[in-house]
Amino acid sequence: MDMTTPLVEMREISIAFGGIKAVDHASVDLHAGEVVGLLGHNGAGKSTLIKILSGAYHADAGEIRIAGKPVSISSPRDAKRHGIETIYQTLALADNVDAAANIFLGRELLTSWGTLDDSAMEAETRKVMGRLNPHFRRFKEPVKALSGGQRQSVAIARAIYFNARVLIMDEPTAALGPAETKQVADLILELKKQGIGIFLISHDLHDVFDLADRVSVMKNGKVVGTAHVRDVTQDEVLGMIISGKCPPGAVAGPGALRS
Amino acid sequence: MTESVPAPATPSQDAKSFADHLRAIEFDARMVGMIAALAVIWLGFNWLSGGAFLTPRNLWNLSVQTASVAVMACGMVLVIVTRNIDLSVGSMLGFVGMVTGLVQAQLLPGLLGFEHPATWLLSIAAAVALGGLIGLFQGALIAYLAIPSFIVTLGGLLVWRGGAWWVTQGQTIAPMDSRFRPLGGGIEGAIGTTASWAIGLIICALIIAGIAFARRRRKRYGFALRPLWAEIVLAALACGTVLGAVMIANAYALPAGVARRLTEAKGGTWPEGGLIIGHGLAVPVLLALAVGVAMSFLARRLRFGRYVFSIGGNPEAAQLSGVNTRKVLMLVYGLMGMLVGIAACISTARLNAATNSAGQLDELYVIAAAVIGGTSLAGGIGTIAGAMLGALVMQSLQSGMVLIGVDTPLQNIVVGIVLVLAVWLDGLYRKRLG
């Protein structure tokens, strides 16, 4: 799998906020149909790195390639144009409008008169939600009124409805119960089968080991190392997260502890 | 994700509570509550004034007095929905009104000649353009320079009020062009009974067509429909309100002298016992309604409106979804400014003079109208129709108190208390509904 051109390559990405290097020469890549887990403590820079890919932040330096071609991503709109969809940890839902309005926000379906086609959007929403969360019924209500799991499925629906090639999931199960977590896990495996590349950001080492093909670990804004999950143990990965020690099964990055 | 599972589009199968049912048919309890509150106010004042409130004359004047604030309240809803505020609208109205007065009383007569047929249109265009530019400028400061809207528009409140004085060093400009004056209402601003009926019937036809159209679309997608009887009752209520309003406006008779002049001008003869000619709907009221309809359309049916509301709900989410939030915010202020331009025309025409004190305290009435009409200061929630009703509630309170002879200071006290009370009740209502 590693022989082909990666779907996404982020090379030597750096960004600083007021002198603090949040991401420092970080490189990660992702292939089609692959799940890459991004691990690290809070503040390790994984969310920031991923926000550069989704267009929320603009990198100070570095290069992003999609299917081998260098691209410039300076806004969420650019990222979406390249088929990169993001499910944010905060879900980034407008609480005061309904599920359909959220799913189509920024990409509304219009009638031939140029007005919002709410009925069409609601019908499409019913279709996609029927697949993700068949019990979902509250199409008319603002998403504020929904449960955590329901809100999560709205955010996921928004990401997958537009035929994403790359999906970024930032702590997708942090707010969910066990049953819903299982649902998300099944969904990830299904999307993977369809050839979508997924960046999975998580605290939960077990989750990542169950779902990811490879893991990249970050510490203090730098990549400690990248490894296939079959080549490393959970304890070794934990060591990478905590002390930055790169085990023999992993490819060391610039953030690896030099001994 | 290419296979498609049939959509479970039959929520009616579920056991549903009464509240769910109301929601399914899109019953708007808060709007009904507001109409009930208005009814209480009207009946109360009618009783206190010994029947003087619910007369065609008073209601006609009430509608004309409401127009200017109602127009501005439409824009204020969008401003507040984006979690911002505009304190400058009253001062802007004064400044734009002065400039508009200057344009039509001094500039245009010099260029085109006195009472030129294009004067009124050019004046309105100037007012709307100037208002829009000021709005865009303030909006740009708020959106792109990230200066808090409270501060920018508080500055605007001082700047434009000062500007209004500066235009003519405090001199009042009068009179206005005769084709411009109907914008303010009065006898020349009433469109007559026949035209009023015609407009009333057209509005009714549009209401029925709109309801039928919406129903057909929901049917096409297999969504829950209102029961047919509910649609019919709704249409009947709406049309009844429209035709009732026309009837009241038509029942307000012109003064005998004016009626006589009009009859004779048309070549008719003035009968012995006199003739009763009704006013009909007033131009500013029609203008305000047109603005309300256009703004509702913009807020609910256009992409722009959807963006405004999503920004209010979660600015970050809107931005991450690819909405150009800064541009939208700037345009919201531009729109607010244009509506201030229209309101400036209405109030200048109504006074038949441009004065530098026009619009004083209007910002507070406009904000109050929007808030009483259910616009949440936390952002994300509000309706145009609610704000216009809110403007009517505020004006009803004020006119009613004038009618029953309440002293001015006491009037302000009452309006202030009602505002606070209304927002408190609204908060309770929201909490109940979660």
Summarised one tens digit per residue, pLDDT across range B157-186 is 999 999 999 999 999 998 999 999 999 998
**Buried/exposed code over B108-143 (b: 16+ C-beta within 10 A; e: otherwise):** beeeeeeeeeebbebbbebbbebbbebbbbbbbbbb
The CA distance from A122 to the nearest CA of chain B, in Å, is: 9
* Structure confidence at residue B433 (pLDDT): 62
pLDDT, average across residues A235-248: 90
Interface test with B, best of A104, A119, A170 (most B CBs within 10 A): A119
Q: Take residue B180 and report the two structure tokens written for it.
A: 């411009």
Residues of B in contact with A119 (CB under 8 A): 217-218, 220-221, 223
pLDDT, average across residues B304-309: 97
Nearest CA to A198 out of A222, A150, A190 is that of A190
**Buried/exposed code over A101-135 (b: 16+ C-beta within 10 A; e: otherwise):** bbbbbbebeeeeeebbbbbbbbbbbbbbbbbbbee
pLDDT, average across residues A88-117: 93
Distance CA A144, CA B314 (A): 11
Query: pLDDT tens digit string along B113-168?
Result: 888 899 999 999 999 999 999 999 999 999 999 999 999 999 999 999 999 999 99
The conformational region for residue B146 under phi > 0 = left, psi -120 to 50 = alpha, else beta, is left
Q: Does the structure show a pLDDT above 70 at B395? A: yes
Distance CA B160, CA B141 (A): 16
Please give the C-alpha separations between residue A71 and each of A53, A66, A77, A78, B163, in angstroms, as whole numbers.
10, 7, 13, 9, 50
* Structure confidence at residue B17 (pLDDT): 61
**Of the candidates A77, A106, A131, which has its C-beta nearest B5's C-beta?**
A131
The conformational region for residue B39 under phi > 0 = left, psi -120 to 50 = alpha, else beta, is alpha
Q: Does the structure show a pLDDT above 50 at B109? A: yes
Least confident of B151-160, B216-225, B286-295, B317-326: B216-225
Residues of A in contact with B318 (CB under 8 A): 94, 105-106
pLDDT, average across residues A103-119: 92
Query: pLDDT tens digit string along B308-343?
Result: 999 999 999 999 999 999 999 999 999 999 999 999
Least confident of A124-128, B329-333, B419-423: B419-423
* Structure confidence at residue B143 (pLDDT): 97
Highest mean pLDDT: which of A187-196, B1-10, B281-290, B368-377? B281-290
Query: pLDDT tens digit string along A36-61?
Result: 999 998 888 998 999 999 999 999 99
Q: Does the structure show a pLDDT above 80 at A1? A: no
Query: pLDDT tens digit string along A133-190?
Result: 888 888 888 999 898 888 988 999 999 899 899 999 998 887 778 888 888 888 899 8
pLDDT, average across residues B296-311: 96
| CB contact (8 A) between residue A107 and residue B302 | no
Q: Does the structure show a pLDDT above 70 at B26? A: no
| CB contact (8 A) between residue B1 and residue A94 | no
| CB contact (8 A) between residue B11 and residue A139 | yes
**Alpha carbon of residue A127 to chain centroid:** 23
**Buried/exposed code over B182-221 (b: 16+ C-beta within 10 A; e: otherwise):** bbbbbeebbbbbeebbebbeebbeebbeebeebeeebeee
Distance CA A176, CA A66 (A): 32
Least confident of A140-154, B236-250, B283-297: A140-154
pLDDT, average across residues B220-235: 84
Q: Does B80 touch chain A (CB under 8 A)?
A: no
- Chain A residue with Cα closest to B12: A137
Residues of A in contact with B218 (CB under 8 A): 119
Residues of B in contact with A88 (CB under 8 A): 320
Residues of A in contact with B11 (CB under 8 A): 137, 139
Q: pLDDT band at B18, cuts 50/70/90?
A: low
Residue A25 half-sphere exposure toward CB, CA atoms < 13 A: 6
**Of the candidates B24, B312, B319, which has its C-beta nearest A96's C-beta?**
B312
> Do residues B342 and B100 make contact, with C-beta atoms less than 8 angstroms apart?
no
Q: Does the structure show a pLDDT above 80 at B302? A: yes
The CA distance from B219 to the nearest CA of chain A, in Å, is: 10
Count CB neighbours of B232 within 10 A: 13
* Structure confidence at residue B24 (pLDDT): 55
pLDDT, average across residues B232-241: 92
> Do residues A9 and A70 make contact, with C-beta atoms less than 8 angstroms apart?
no
Q: Does the structure show a pLDDT above 50 at A96? A: yes
Q: Does the structure show a pLDDT above 80 at B5? A: no
**Of the candidates A75, A126, A191, which has its C-beta nearest B322's C-beta?**
A75
Q: Does the structure show a pLDDT above 60 at B15? A: no
Mean of the per-residue pLDDT values for chain B?
A: 90
* Structure confidence at residue B134 (pLDDT): 98
Least confident of A167-171, B52-56, B217-221: B217-221
**Of the candidates B2, B26, B313, which has its C-beta nearest A94's C-beta?**
B313
* Structure confidence at residue A136 (pLDDT): 87
Q: Does the structure show a pLDDT above 50 at A250? A: yes
Q: How many A/B residue pairs have CB atoms within 8 Å? A: 118
